[in-house]
């Protein structure tokens, strides 16, 4: 029989790191509150026994109200475990003790794991473990999970609790202890008093936050705070976009060569044309298009973002950006979910779990797809550089496209906030919600581990999800453009059906069809549109920017088309992966529908208005 | 102690430390704060503010926390009276 071990503790004390050190599993760790949003489970063995360990979301007390906090405290209160590891931050034990004392009152099958001891020592904080253990009447183990220090001692302590003190049954009447009524708060008061006294006895420290505060006084100052943030964000986008070009071209070329090899093989094997077409021109081409444009930027963006996350800078962004989001009924953390949305809207939607309040969370989820993800960036950049800057003298080109791109990004953020505010204030009429957020100490990021994990966790995960949607989409698109009814392909029917709507919006039927058929992944929208312009059964393949410009012009594009195209790229239904993710996160068809309809509606209205205005004046 | 004065937490001057003497009447906000370990008798210091002067960062019990001024003004604190130049 496996023994079950539960890992709990305050947010941001390194629970995930302890979990990884115990199990060898690769769960991504981040330096901020609320990283473990689902419970993670793993297994480790010690002295010939196997232990099943569950990592709970971080909580400050057992009376929390958000879904994650409830899950965690329910598990702790249930008593269905053999041992409980309470992780605490050795650099700030006093406040961590509130939770320890509360848990201690329910269960004595617990061990206190004082993590981040290396950090505490560096800052001159010393905890008297023996004294603390006597005060709390549970074993106390010092660890630094990052370097693996103290992990054997921790396993030993768990082993001892399970095997030597098994007979103790310890369940108190819990409702007495934690109501959310006045009484509950009073009890918490007492815990706070108690933890102060205990930490006075066991702790010798100086002010542990001096370094962090000193850093913050520069990083979040009036003078440098906002410029620094903008420069950092632009740097990340710049590295992502320019850095992705080279591997992207390499992959496209590689896949192109493979394609001709496959075509030759199919020819010599006398494969039926229909089968060859649907497999190679349909599935393979769409799939490789998606991989070659999507993989490189993600493999660069996510590690960079993870490094920022690890260092503790992200909560500072939320801190500085909070006033922007307040009127919209959300808070500074919304800035972070939007940033994640720049990487991938599905990730941004999942990331909304960091918002503790369900009302804010839903708002942030349905407005996330207003910001362009990595799949839409190449589309924006291609349109901007092909259309607005081909006629301009070379050195200014990239500067001007950068300016237009920045304007588009600012527009997308503004619309996202405005829509969220409109829904919050005019439709839902939500009450004001306070915003309290811990600012964790800065930590040096674990460079290699972070980079490797973010590639494996996020990048490959999303890549896999988009591959499973792109492959069938490729087949469908090929069928639509190759099955003929009368003398027109099915795709042409779709195009002519959408032509009037497209014209109202300053676009055309083929562009709208491209977006519709590109529902599985925004990466394939431009190849699809080009394919429809070519009216052939195959994707247009590698097209450089100058020839892109010519193709678009010859299909009747004007500056108006390009502007409307940029707007519609920013504001239309999110991709299938994102829609699915919204549903999974909200478990509500209503919110999912809102997440689908809102951006589409905005896109149609704004495009039509811009089209009308531009037709009047130009 | 002589010369103690009460004010709201949001009015507390930058760099000053005070003791919480009155928690918000708003039960919801109050319970949120308590979960973070902020209650009566806790010593709290305003350490820095965001570029737009709101929210501000406070240090209490070794932890840094961000509070909006509109939430902080519902918390009453008692601090030493110092140079009261303005009035």
Closest-CA distance, B36 to chain A, in angstroms, reads 6
The whole-number pLDDT of residue A589 equals: 94
B-chain residues near A98 (CB < 8 A): 37
Which residue is closest to B62 within chain A, CA to CA?
Answer: A92
High-pLDDT (> 90) share of chain A, % = 21
Do A136 and A258 lie in a common domain?
A: no
State whether A220 and B50 contact (CB < 8 Å).
yes
- What residues contact residue A440 under an 8 Å CB cut-off, 6+ apart? A12, A31, A32, A33, A312, A315, B64
CA-based nearest distance A431→chain B, Å: 12
Q: Which domain holds residue A428?
A: 226-434+447-617
Counting the structural domains of chain B, the total is 1
B-chain CB neighbours of A124 within 8 Å are: none
CA distances (Å), A523 to each of A347, A374, A379, A591, in order? 16, 8, 7, 25
Question: Does A543 score more than 80 pLDDT?
Answer: no
Q: Model confidence at B82, in pLDDT bands (50, 70, 90)?
A: low
**Is B13 a domain residue?**
yes
- Considering only CB atoms, B51 lies closest to which of A220, A318, A440, namely A220
Domain residue limits at B51: 4-80
What does the pLDDT look like over A411-446, one tens digit per residue? 999 999 999 999 999 988 888 889 999 898 888 888
Give yes or no for residue A205 having a pLDDT over 60.
no
Check residue A201 and give its pLDDT. 66
Q: Within a domain: residue B55?
A: yes
Looking at residue A177, what is its pLDDT? 46
Q: Does B51 touch chain A (CB under 8 A)?
A: yes
Give yes or no for a contact between A107 and A79, defined as CB atoms under 8 angstroms apart.
yes
Query: Are B35 and A438 within 8 A, CB to CB?
Result: no
Name chain B contacts of A360, Cβ cutoff 8 Å.
none
Higher pLDDT, A125 or A165: A125
The pLDDT value recorded for residue A134 is 82
A61/B contact by beta carbon, under 8 A = yes
Instruction: Give yes or no: residues A156 and A279 share one domain.
Output: no
Q: Do residue A177 and residue A270 come from a single domain?
A: no
Lowest mean pLDDT among A70-84, A183-197, A323-337: A183-197
What digits encode the pLDDT tens for the residues A503-520? 999 999 999 999 998 887
Residue A289 has pLDDT above 90, yes or no: no
Please tell me which residue of chain B has the smallest CA distance to A433.
Answer: B29
CB pairs under 8 A between A and B: 119
Separation CA A578–CA A125 (nearest Å): 45
Higher pLDDT, residue A242 or A311: A311
Between A468 and A316, name the one with better pLDDT. A316
Which residue of A lies nearest to B48 if distances are taken between CA atoms? A217
Q: How confident is the model at residue A188 (pLDDT cuts 50, 70, 90)?
A: low
Same domain, yes or no, for A99 and A137? yes
The listed range with the strongest mean pLDDT (A38-42, A126-130, A561-565) is A561-565
B87 located within any domain: no
CB contact under 8 A, A322 and B64: no
If asked whether residues A189 and A252 sit together in one domain, one would say no
- Report the gap between the CA of B32 and the closest CA in chain A (Å): 8
Please, what is the Cα angle at B16 between B15 and B22, to 5 degrees?
135
Q: Is residue A14 very low, low, confident or very high in pLDDT (cuts 50, 70, 90)?
A: confident
Q: How close, in Å, is residue B74 to chain A by CA atoms?
A: 11
User: What is the distance between the alpha carbons of residues A617 and A448, in angstroms, rounded to a whole number?
Assistant: 55
- Rounded CA gap, A91 and A13, in Å? 9
Measure CB to CB from residue B37 to each of A60, A213, A322 and give the nearest one: A60
Lowest mean pLDDT among A96-100, A162-166, A237-241, A471-475: A162-166
pLDDT band at A538 (very low <50, low <70, confident <90, very high): very low
Which pLDDT does position A172 carry in this prediction? 44
| Alpha helices (H) along A330-428 | 333-343, 345-351, 358-366, 377-383, 394-422
The pLDDT of residue A481 is above 70: yes
Asked, for residue B86, whether it belongs to a domain, the answer is no
Judgement on whether residues A120 and A169 belong to the same structural domain of the protein: yes
Contact between chains at B34 and A188 (C-beta distance less than 8 A): yes
Both A284 and A370 in one domain: the answer is yes
pLDDT in the model for residue A416 = 95
Is residue A440 in some structural domain?
no
Please give the pLDDT value at position A178. 46
Same domain, A280 and A168: no
Distance to chain A for B77, nearest Cα, Å = 17
Measured from the Cβ of residue A500, the count of other Cβ atoms closer than 10 Å reads: 10
Place of tokens 């503010």: B49
* Confidence class for position A179, pLDDT limits 50, 70, 90: very low
Q: Which residues of A touch B28 (CB under 8 A)?
A: 434
What pLDDT, on the 0 to 100 scale, is given for residue A184? 53
How many domains, chain A?
2
> Does the CB of B52 have a partner CB in chain A at under 8 Å?
yes
Cβ-nearest to A60 among B36, B51, B57: B36
- Tell me the average pLDDT of chain A: 82
Q: Is B61 on the interface with A (CB under 8 A)?
A: yes
* Same domain for A387 and A427: yes
**How far does CA A487 lie from the centroid of its chain?**
46
pLDDT of A180 strictly over 60: no
Is A216 part of any domain? no
With contacts defined as CB-CB under 8 Å, which chain A residues touch B32?
434, 436
CATH of the domain at B74: 2.30.30.90
Res A604 pLDDT > 90: yes
Range ranked top by mean pLDDT from A56-70, A366-380, A446-460: A366-380
pLDDT bracket for residue B86 (50, 70, 90): very low
pLDDT of A240 > 70? The answer is: yes
Chain A's closest residue to B59, CA to CA, is A209
User: Is residue A339 included in any domain, yes or no?
Assistant: yes
Question: For the residues A492-508, what does the mean pLDDT come to?
Answer: 91
Please write the tens of the pLDDT for every residue from A142-158: 898 888 888 889 999 88
Are A272 and A150 contained in the same domain?
Answer: no
pLDDT over 70 (residue A27):
no
In a mutagenesis test of the B interface, which of A66, A96, A434, A442 is the best target, namely the one with the most B β-carbons within 10 Å?
A: A434
Strands A488-489 and A140-142: unpaired
Q: What is the CATH number of the domain that holds A145?
A: 3.40.50.300
Contacts of B57 in chain A (CB under 8 A): 213, 216, 220, 319, 439
Burial class of residue B78 in the structure, from the number of CB atoms within 10 Å of its CB (0-12 exposed, 13-18 middle, 19+ buried): middle
**Model confidence at A206: pLDDT above 90:** no
What was the ipTM of the complex prediction? 0.90
Q: Do A172 and A252 lie in a common domain?
A: no
Over residues B61-75, the pLDDT tens digits come to: 878 899 999 999 999
| Alpha carbon distances (Å) from A314 to A439, B19, B62 | 9, 30, 20
A80 pLDDT band (50/70/90 cuts)? confident
Evaluate if residue A23 carries a pLDDT over 70: yes
For residue range A325-373, list pLDDT tens digits in order: 998 989 999 999 998 888 888 888 988 888 878 889 999 999 999 999 8
Distance CA A191, CA A136 (A): 12
Q: Measured between CB atoms, does A237 come within 8 Å of chain B? A: no
DSSP letter at B73 equals: T
**Is residue A571 pLDDT above 90, yes or no?**
yes
Q: How many CB atoms lie within 10 A of CB B52?
A: 14
Whether residue B85 is contained in a domain is answered as no
The contacts found for A608-615 with CB under 8 angstroms, 24 or more apart, are A608/A504, A608/A505, A608/A506, A610/A506, A610/A560, A610/A563, A610/A564, A610/A567, A611/A504, A611/A505, A611/A506, A611/A560, A611/A564, A614/A506, A614/A559, A614/A560, A614/A563, A615/A560
A 317-376 near B (Cβ less than 8 A): 318-320, 322-323, 326, 332
What is the least distance, in Å, from the CA of A587 to any CA of chain B?
A: 26
User: What's the whole-number mean pLDDT along residues A558-562?
Assistant: 89
Helix, strand or coil for residue A143?
Answer: coil
Best residue of B27, B30, B32 to probe chain A, by most A CBs closer than 10 Å: B32
Report CB contact under 8 Å: A92, B62. yes
Written as six digits, the tokens of A172 are: 């108190």
The confidence band for A594, taking pLDDT boundaries of 50, 70 and 90, is: very high
pLDDT value of residue A267 = 87
Asked, for residue A213, whether it belongs to a domain, the answer is no
Contact A326 B33 (CB under 8 A): no
The closest CB to that of B48, out of A217, A326, A434, belongs to A217
User: Looking at the structure, do residues A260 and A170 belong to the same domain, yes or no?
Assistant: no
Between B48 and A383, the higher pLDDT residue: B48
What are the tokens at A436? 């309290």
């Amino acid at each position: 029989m496996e023994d079950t071990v539960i890992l709990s503790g305050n947010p941001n004390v390194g629970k995930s790191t302890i979990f990884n050190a115990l199990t060898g599993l690769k769960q991504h760790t981040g330096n901020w509150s609320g990283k473990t949003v689902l419970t993670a489970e793993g297994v480790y063995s010690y002295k010939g026994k196997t232990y099943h360990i569950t990592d709970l979301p971080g909580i400050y007390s057992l009376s929390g109200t958000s879904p994650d906090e409830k899950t965690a405290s329910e598990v702790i209160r249930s008593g269905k475990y053999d041992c409980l590891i309470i992780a605490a931050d050795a650099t700030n034990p006093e406040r961590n003790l509130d939770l320890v004392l509360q848990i201690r009152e329910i269960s004595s099958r617990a061990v206190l794991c004082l993590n981040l001891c290396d950090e505490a020592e560096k800052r001159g904080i010393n905890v008297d473990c023996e004294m603390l253990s006597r005060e709390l009447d549970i074993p106390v183990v010092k660890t630094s999970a990052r370097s693996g220090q103290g992990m054997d001692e921790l396993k030993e302590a768990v082993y001892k609790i399970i095997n030597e003190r098994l007979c103790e049954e310890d369940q108190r009447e819990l409702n007495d202890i934690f109501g959310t009524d006045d009484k509950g708060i009073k009890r918490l008061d007492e815990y706070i008093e108690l933890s102060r006294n205990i930490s006075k006895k066991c702790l010798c420290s100086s002010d542990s936050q001096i370094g962090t505060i000193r850093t913050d006084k520069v990083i979040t100052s009036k003078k440098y705070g906002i410029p620094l943030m903008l420069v950092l964000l632009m740097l990340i986008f710049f590295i992502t976009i320019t850095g992705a070009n080279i591997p992207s071209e390499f992959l496209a070329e590689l896949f192109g060569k493979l394609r001709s090899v496959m075509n030759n093989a199919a020819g010599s094997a006398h494969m039926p044309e229909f089968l060859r077409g649907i497999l190679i021109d349909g599935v393979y081409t769409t799939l490789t298009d998606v991989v070659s444009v999507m993989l490189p930027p993600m493999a660069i963006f996510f590690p960079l973002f993870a490094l920022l996350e690890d260092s503790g800078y992200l909560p500072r962004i939320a801190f500085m950006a909070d006033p922007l989001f307040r009127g919209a009924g959300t808070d500074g953390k919304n800035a972070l979910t939007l940033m994640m949305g720049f990487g991938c809207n599905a990730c941004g939607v999942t990331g909304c779990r960091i918002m503790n309040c369900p009302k804010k969370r839903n708002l942030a989820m349905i407005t996330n797809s207003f910001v362009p993800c990595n799949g839409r960036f190449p589309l924006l950049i291609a349109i901007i550089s092909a259309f607005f800057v081909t006629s301009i003298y070379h050195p200014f080109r990239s500067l001007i496209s950068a300016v237009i791109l920045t304007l588009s990004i600012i527009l997308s953020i503004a619309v996202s906030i405005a829509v969220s505010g409109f829904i919050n204030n005019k439709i839902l009429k939500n009450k004001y919600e306070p915003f309290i957020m811990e600012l964790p100490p800065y930590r040096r990021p674990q460079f290699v581990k972070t980079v490797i994990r973010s590639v494996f966790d996020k990048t490959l995960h999303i890549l896999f999800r988009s591959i499973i949607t792109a492959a069938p989409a490729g087949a469908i698109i090929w069928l639509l453009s190759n099955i003929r009814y009368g003398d027109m392909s099915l795709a042409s029917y779709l195009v002519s059906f959408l032509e009037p709507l497209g014209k109202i919006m300053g676009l055309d039927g083929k562009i709208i069809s491209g977006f519709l058929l590109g529902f599985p992944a925004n990466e394939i929208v431009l190849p699809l549109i080009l394919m429809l312009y070519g009216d052939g059964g195959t994707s247009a393949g590698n097209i450089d920017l100058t020839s892109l410009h010519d193709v678009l012009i010859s299909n009747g594009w004007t500056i108006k088309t390009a502007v409307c195209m940029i707007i519609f790229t920013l504001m239309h239904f999110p991709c299938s992966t994102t829609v699915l993710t919204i549903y999974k996160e909200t478990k509500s068809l209503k919110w999912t529908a809102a997440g689908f309809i809102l951006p589409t509606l905005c896109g149609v209205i704004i495009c039509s208005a811009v089209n009308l205005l531009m037709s009047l004046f130009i | 102690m002589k010369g103690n004065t009460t004010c709201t937490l949001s009015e507390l001057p930058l760099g000053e430390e005070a003791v919480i003497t009155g928690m918000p009447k708003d039960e919801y906000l109050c319970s949120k704060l308590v979960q973070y370990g902020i209650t009566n008798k806790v010593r709290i210091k305003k350490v820095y503010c965001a570029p737009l002067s709101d929210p501000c960062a406070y240090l209490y019990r070794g932890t840094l926390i961000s509070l909006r001024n509109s939430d902080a003004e519902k918390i009453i604190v008692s601090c030493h009276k110092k140079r009261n130049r303005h009035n």
